[in-house]
Amino acid sequence: MILVTGGAGFIGSNFVLDWLAQSDEPVVNLDKLTYAGNLENLISLKNDSRHIFVHGDICDFELVASLLKQHQPRAIIHFAAESHVDRSILDSSEFMKTNIDGTFTLLETARQYWNLLDSDKKTAFRFHHVSTDEVYGSLQPNDAPFTETNLYQPNSPYSASKAASDHLVRAWHHTYGLPVTTSNCSNNYGSYHFPEKLIPLVITNALAGKALPIYGDGKQIRDWLYVKDHCSAIRRILEVGKVGEVYNVGGWNEKANIDIVNIITTLLDELKPDSQGSYSRLITYVTDRLGHDRRYAIDARKIERELGWKPAETFETGIRKTVEWYLANQEWVANVTSGEYRLWLDKNYSARQV
């Protein structure tokens, strides 16, 4: 048995689906079901006894402790987080609560649970913390990609809250001996991605004939990682990762935001042509967001060298699969792009100068 937090979100749900596609080991899935948590992602597991869903908050100490006592997991995989930089700029309070307080609650309940295990189970137990490359700050055009030894220089409320959670995980290992591992990943993309982030936003807006908002000059560079590759990396870390180690997980795909948008519009022109012309006509440059980091890039050689992992998808293969998934799952898109999501879009974009 494993316990997954945030397993109804984008990366978490992909991880749960992939895990149960490859293993009969049951999953206890703890998720608060905020705006980005969606049980529709897991509809295929509705009648699967291996998937035990619990609607709850990682900040709820008694709930987490009771789940650990009841299910006796051999590992905790911690995805649950507030993760959108724009939202953290507008209101950072939930980021501090979930990403910092929630991680503390998980670590402390895990420590108490782990201390009561017998020696064999204690040795086998793992707490894996999923983090981000944004904790390292921003790179200049000619800087080397981030390695695991880069200094932490978070530049947004979101990345600062994730940096704090990383430090808590490290401290619980060094102070109490809790067997932890951490992964810092680059930008994920793929199926079930809530359409507030760049790639799903561009796909959904283009299909709806809406503007494709590009912050600033659109030349901000990110390293892109297909979500299923990320899931396979985490499985590999659980299998053979060294206790106390940090592993950077990247896709070796540095691309500027405007190039991503052009790739997507070209794919849509091919897969679902619009009678009004190329979707690229919808590209609209808007005021940049505050403190926008210019470049992220991950050096993923450590995980390849030590654990034998590397991504299976190129950006070209992964983005085609992603666009095809959104075209085939328009009902899912319609269900998530309503209500609170629309209110957020209005709040974030309506005041931006074109």
Question: 75: closest CA among 19, 21, 135?
Answer: 19
Write out the two tokens for 280: 């690229």
pLDDT of res. 344: 46
What is the arithmetic mean of pLDDT over 91-104? Answer: 95
Rounded to 5°, the CA angle 130-1-104 comes to 40
Question: At a CB cut-off of 8 Å and minimum separation 6, what does 22 contact?
Answer: 235
Domain with 146 in it: 2-188+227-250+292-313
- Tell me what the mean pLDDT of segment 317-323 comes to: 98
CATH at 106: 3.40.50.720
More confident residue, 293 or 5: 5
Q: How many domains does the chain have?
A: 1
The pLDDT assigned to 245 comes to: 98
Q: What percent of the chain has pLDDT over 90?
A: 87
Return the percent helix, strand and coil in the chain, to nearest 5.
50, 15, 35
Could you tell me which residues come within 8 angstroms of residue 128 by beta carbon, excluding any fewer than 6 positions away? 75, 76, 77, 78, 180, 181, 182, 183, 234, 237, 238, 241
**Over residues 257-283, mean pLDDT:** 97
Task: Please compute the mean of the pLDDT values over residues 106-135 and round it to a whole number.
Answer: 97
Residue 141 lies in a domain: yes
The C-alpha atoms of residue 95 and residue 81 are separated, in whole angstroms, by 7
Does a structural domain hold residue 268?
no
Residue 319 is given by DSSP the state: H
pLDDT band of 91, cuts 50, 70, 90:
confident
* pLDDT (average), residues 299-310: 98
Question: CB-based burial of residue 159 (10 Å sphere; 0-12 exposed, 13-18 middle, 19+ buried)?
Answer: buried
pLDDT band at 340, cuts 50/70/90? low
83 within a domain of the structure (yes/no): yes
d(CA 99, CA 159): 10
- pTM, whole model, 2 decimals? 0.93
Q: Name, of 85-94, 238-247, 338-347, the range with top average pLDDT.
A: 238-247
pLDDT at residue 313 greater than cutoff 80? yes
Is 349 a residue whose pLDDT tops 70? no
Residue 195 lies in a domain: no
Q: Please report whether residue 165 resides in a domain.
A: yes
Distance CA 108, CA 102 (A): 10
Beta strands in the chain (DSSP E): 2-5, 27-31, 51-55, 75-78, 126-132, 180-185, 187-189, 212-215, 221-226, 246-249, 254-256, 283-286
In percent, the amount of the chain with pLDDT more than 70 equals 95
273 CB burial (10 A radius; 0-12, 13-18, 19+): exposed
User: Residue 146: inside a domain, yes or no?
Assistant: yes
Among all residues, which ones are annotated catalytic? 133-134, 158
Has residue 77 been placed in a domain?
A: yes
* Cα-based angle 293, 297, 300 (whole degrees, multiple of 5): 150
Distance CA(149)–CA(156), nearest Å, equals 20
